[in-house]
Amino acid sequence: MTVVADLPVNPDSKVKKDQIVYLGKDGVTKMEHPLRLITTKDTQGQPVVIVTNDFQLKAEELSEIYRNAGR
């Protein structure tokens, strides 16, 4: 994984990291398009990593969508 950018996060949010990344290994399996990697916490406070190609929504919005998806 190659981190292209660390995006700002609200320190009061459950989101701990919001990054733009490329997955894979250079010259072998590296993906052509960047992805967004969000590190957040679930309802029990356990870490959750979300990988998405959505660059429009805020990290907090995506975190809430995934946190509530299992309900």
Q: What is the pLDDT of residues 13-32, one digit of tens each?
A: 999 999 999 999 988 899 99
Full domain range(s) for residue 44: 2-68
Using alpha carbons, list the distances in angstroms from residue 17 to 28, 30, 32, 50, 52. Answer: 27, 22, 22, 10, 13
Q: What is the pLDDT of residues 26-70, one digit of tens each?
A: 888 999 999 999 999 988 889 999 999 999 999 999 999 988 876
Position 71 pLDDT exceeds 70: no
Domains identified in the chain, total number: 1
The confidence band for 5, taking pLDDT boundaries of 50, 70 and 90, is very high
Q: How far apart are CA 33 and CA 2, in angstroms?
A: 12
